[in-house]
Amino acid sequence: METRQIIVTGGAGFVGSHLCERLLREGHEVLALDNFATGSPKNVAHLLKDTRFKLEVHDVIWPFTVAASRIYNLACPASPPHYQRDPVQTTLTSVMGVLNGLLLARRQGARFLQASTSEVYGDPEVHPQPEDYRGAVNPVGVRACYDEGKRCAESLTMDFHRVHAVEVRLARIFNTYGPRMAFDDGRVVSNFIIQALRGEDLTIYGDGSQTRSFCYVDDLVDGLVRLMEHPEERGPVNLGNPGEFTVLQLAEEVLSLTGSGSRIVNKPLPEDDPKQRKPVIEHAKRVLGFSPRVPLREGLARTIADFRARLEGTPRKNSA
Ligand code: NAD
Ligand code: UDP
C-alpha cells in the first residue's frame, strides 16, 4: 500500500483510538476526524506527540476533503444511551457520514471500511448469527436510529461498490470492550466495572439471562485491519468473540475480578433489548485468518486495571 494517509472517522472514540494506535505502530500516517460527541481528545492525547498523527474536529454529516488511501468509518455513538440521546443525529451520522466517506473514497480512489454492527441482526431469531441472516429489527423502535442507520450505511456502501466501483469493506462488529471505554457510556461492561469499583450496586436489566459475546478491543482491531488489507474480501464479515455469556455471568465475573462487595440489583429491561447474541465467525477465520485471542476473564482484568487507574487519576501509559 502507498504511504498516503489513513483516515479514521471517530478516531477519538474507544475503538477508533485503539485503531489509530495500531496503524501508527505499523508506520502509517493517520488522520482522526471526530466531533467529540462521545469520544474525547484525551483518548488520543498520547498519540499527538507522533508527527504522523493528526486530529481534526469534524462532524461527518458534512462533506470533507482530505488526502486518503484508506478510510475507516467509525464515527457514530455506539452505546444505547448515547445513540438514543439524539436519535436524529445518530441516523444522520450513520447515513450522511457513510455517504460523505464514500464520496471521498470515490474521489481519492481510496479503500473504504464501514464499521457496521451486530445490531443489523436486531433481536435475532437465528442463533448464533451468520452473515447471511437478514435480521429482525424493529424499524420504529427506540434502537432503530442506530440499527436502521447502520443497515442503510451497509446498503450505501455496497451500492457505491456496485455503481461507482469503490473498493469497500463491511465489518459487522459484535460487543467490544476494553481500556478507554467512556465511564458514562452506559454499556454493560463499563457500567459493571465502574459500579464494582465504586462499591455501588451492579444494575442488571431484566433477569440477566440475556446473552452477549464480548470481544476484547485488540482482537477487534486486528480483525478490522485484516479485513481492510485483504485484497478482495468485501464482506459483510462478522467480527467478534463467539464466547457467549449471560449478563448475570458477566456481573459475577466482574465482582470476582474486582473483589468488590457490591450487590447485584435488577432494573427494568430496556425496550427491544436483544435476548441473545453470538457471532458465527467461520468466514472471518477462513478468509481473514481472524482469531480472537483474549479470553473474557483476561480482557476484563486489563479493562478493570485501566478503569481503576483512571478512577484514581494515576497517569497511565497509552491510556487517557
Ligand atoms: P464511541 O462512542 O467510543 O466512538 C465513536 C466516535 O465517533 C466518538 O469519538 C464520537 O465522538 C465520534 N462521532 C460520533 N458522531 C460523530 C459525527 N457525527 N462526526 C464525527 N465524529 C462522530 O464508540 P465505539 O465503541 O468506539 O464505536 C466505534 C464504531 O464501532 C461505531 O461506528 C460503532 O457503531 C461501531 N461498533 C462498536 C461496537 C462496540 O461494541 N464498541 C459494536 C458494534 C459496532
Ligand atoms: N445491561 C445491563 N446493565 C447495565 C447495562 C446494560 O444489564 O448496566 C444489559 C443490556 O440490557 C443488554 C446487555 O446488558 O441486555 C448489553 O448491553 P449494552 O448496552 O452493553 O450493549 P447492547 O445492548 O447494545 O448489546
pLDDT bin (cut points 50, 70, 90) of residue 4 is confident
pLDDT of 34 reads: 98
pLDDT of 319 reads: 44
Report yes or no: 277 and 250 within 8 Å, Cβ to Cβ: no
CA of 204 to the centre of ligand 1 (A): 24
Structure confidence by residue, pLDDT tens digits, 129-169: 999 999 999 999 999 999 999 999 999 999 999 999 999 99
Q: φ, ψ for residue 38 (rounded to 5)?
A: -130, -15
pLDDT of 1 reads: 47
Q: φ, ψ for residue 270 (rounded to 5)?
A: -65, 155
Structure confidence by residue, pLDDT tens digits, 257-306: 999 999 999 999 999 999 999 999 999 999 999 999 999 999 999 999 99
pLDDT of 3 reads: 53
Residue 320 has pLDDT above 50, yes or no: no
pLDDT bin (cut points 50, 70, 90) of residue 227 is very high
What lies within 8 Å, CB to CB, of 74 at 6+ separation is: 8, 9, 10, 11, 13, 15, 16, 19, 115
Structure confidence by residue, pLDDT tens digits, 52-99: 999 999 999 999 999 999 999 999 999 999 999 999 999 999 999 999
What lies within 8 Å, CB to CB, of 290 at 6+ separation is: 222, 223, 226, 239, 281, 284
What is residue 116's three-state secondary structure?
A: strand
pTM: 0.96
Give residue limits of the domains in the chain: 5-175+217-239
CA of 38 to the centre of ligand 1 (A): 7
Residue 48 has pLDDT above 70, yes or no: yes
For residue 220, give the ligand nearest its CA.
1
Pocket test for ligand 2, best of 145, 187, 277 (most atoms within 8 A of CB): 187
Look at domain 5-175+217-239 and name its CATH class.
alpha beta
pLDDT bin (cut points 50, 70, 90) of residue 313 is confident
| Atom nearest to 192 CA in ligand 2 | 8
Q: What residues act catalytically?
A: 146
pLDDT of 11 reads: 98
d(CA 83, CA 257): 30
CA 241, 243, 247, 250: dihedral to nearest 10 degrees?
A: -90
How far is residue 317 from each of residues 258, 278, 314, 320, measured CA to CA in Å? 21, 33, 10, 8
pLDDT of 314 reads: 61
How far is residue 319 from each of residues 48, 109, 186, measured CA to CA in Å? 13, 34, 20
CA of 168 to the centre of ligand 1 (A): 19
Burial of residue 293 (CB within 10 Å: 0-12, 13-18, 19+) is exposed
At 222, which helix (H) or strand (E)?
A: helix 217-229
- Report percent pLDDT > 70 for the chain: 97
From 10, 287, 284, select the one nearest 130 (Cα to Cα).
284
CB-side exposure of 253: number of CA atoms within 13 Å? 18
User: Which residue has the CA at smallest separation from atom 22 of ligand 1?
Assistant: 75
